[in-house]
Amino acid sequence: MIAEFLKLVEAEIKHQPFGAQPKSLYEPIRYIMSLGGKRLRPLLVMMAYSLYKKDVKPIVKYAAAVEAFHNFTLLHDDIMDNAPLRRGKPTVHEKWNVNTAILSGDVMLVKVYEMFLGLDGDTLKKVLSLFNQCAAEVCEGQQWDMEFESNPKVTESQYIEMIRLKTAVLLGFSLELGAVLAGADESQCRALKDFGINIGIGFQLKDDLLDVYGDKKKFGKQVGGDIIANKKTFLLIKAKEKARGKEKDELDYWLKTRKFNKLKKVKAVTALYDHLHIAQLTEAKIQFYFDKGFNQLKKITDSPSKNALIGFAKELIVRQT
């Protein structure tokens, strides 16, 4: 099922022209969309839809629209983070320039709305209302993420709320969208949305973990980037809570030092995380949110499609990329 859905969404993305001239405006969109990735969000749209309808082909375009929105957020996020790599390739602002990346991202969002225009009136109104709420929340989450950079006292609950907004609500919307397009009732749509939000939190926590402990060749991004940037991830927040004495002094040193060797800082902070058992704490928190999400699926009737959705979500727990 997943392989079939992935083939459909890749074909739809390849089919979408996104725009023609000027080429320098639209080529970055085609570039970032061609870099692949897990296509997690459009697959969730189709998997949710398949819980109620057999043929997913009528909604593939809308699944692809969600992927386009996701890549729009990545394009701008990479600029804000000054990230050199995305999926193992140069980011758009590195390959072109920052101004082009900003403008291409802007028109990319416009194209997302254009892709949704194929929906009928009532469904279009509902989908756009849900999408607008989701899109605004993603931006709110990104703003909180940036503000946390200069806030030395970010709490665990504040961080979880930030990643709920920045990352998880889009997974929730993806599943909710599939259910809405299939005509599912409100309670089913809500259960799938809540499932998506909780696995989304777990997914982002896993991403934080892999940023420190992942294999660069598999991860596709700069390993240790969060440590270099002093990002207030779950790992750093817990380390600051647990560090005492010399450990606290060393952690504070690396957080305050402005001139440093990147590799040395990553190695030193990772060693502190190891000593404080931060990876194990993070894994436990990841499992908590996945379990919370799976409990929502008890409200969904058992079926092969439901089993496929559960299996797909569980792959996020053990992923290495």
- Band of the pLDDT at 155, cuts 50, 70, 90? very high
First to last CA, the chain: 21
Return the pLDDT at 225.
85
> CB of 194 within 8 A of CB of 171?
no
Q: What is the pLDDT of residue 217?
A: 60
SS3 call for 90: strand
Distances (CA, A) of 156 to 149, 224, 237: 14, 20, 7
Residue found by looking up tokens 């797909």 in the block: 312
d(CA 76, CA 89): 16
Nearest to 68 by CA among 21, 109, 14, 10: 109
**pLDDT in the model for residue 236:** 96
- Single-letter code of the amino acid located at 46: M
Residue numbers of the domain that contains 53? 2-318
Rounded to 5 degrees, what are φ and ψ at 86? -140, 115
Residues 6+ apart with CB under 8 A from 233: 159, 208, 211, 226
Over range 114-125, report the average pLDDT: 94
Closest C-alpha to 145, from 159, 132, 155, 157:
159
Residue range 44-56: average pLDDT? 96
Q: Is 89 helix (H, G, I), strand (E, B) or coil?
A: strand
Residue owning tokens 């900003």: 102
Spatial CA neighbour of 67 closest among 18, 1, 24: 18
Residue 183 has pLDDT above 60, yes or no: yes
- Tell me, what CATH number does 226's domain have? 1.10.600.10
Tokens 């496929």, located at residue: 308
Domain count, the chain: 1
User: DSSP string of 20-73?
Assistant: -SSHHHHHHHHHHHHT----HHHHHHHHHHHTT-S--GGGHHHHHHHHHHHHHH
The pLDDT of residue 223 is: 73
In this predicted model, which residue has the larger pLDDT, 95 or 218? 95
Task: Please state, in angstroms and rounded to a whole number, the distance separating the CA atoms of residues 63 and 53.
Answer: 15
Beta pairing partners, 175: none
Judged against a pLDDT cut of 80, whether residue 165 lies above it is answered with: yes
User: Across the chain, what does the average pLDDT equal?
Assistant: 92
Supply φ then ψ for residue 102, to 5 degrees.
Answer: -60, -50
Could you tell me which of 99, 46, 41, 33 has the C-alpha nearest to residue 72? 33
Predicted local confidence at residue 56, as pLDDT: 96
Contact 297, 316 (CB under 8 A): no
Share above pLDDT 90 across residues of the chain, in percent, rounded to a whole number: 79
Residue 319's pLDDT is what?
67
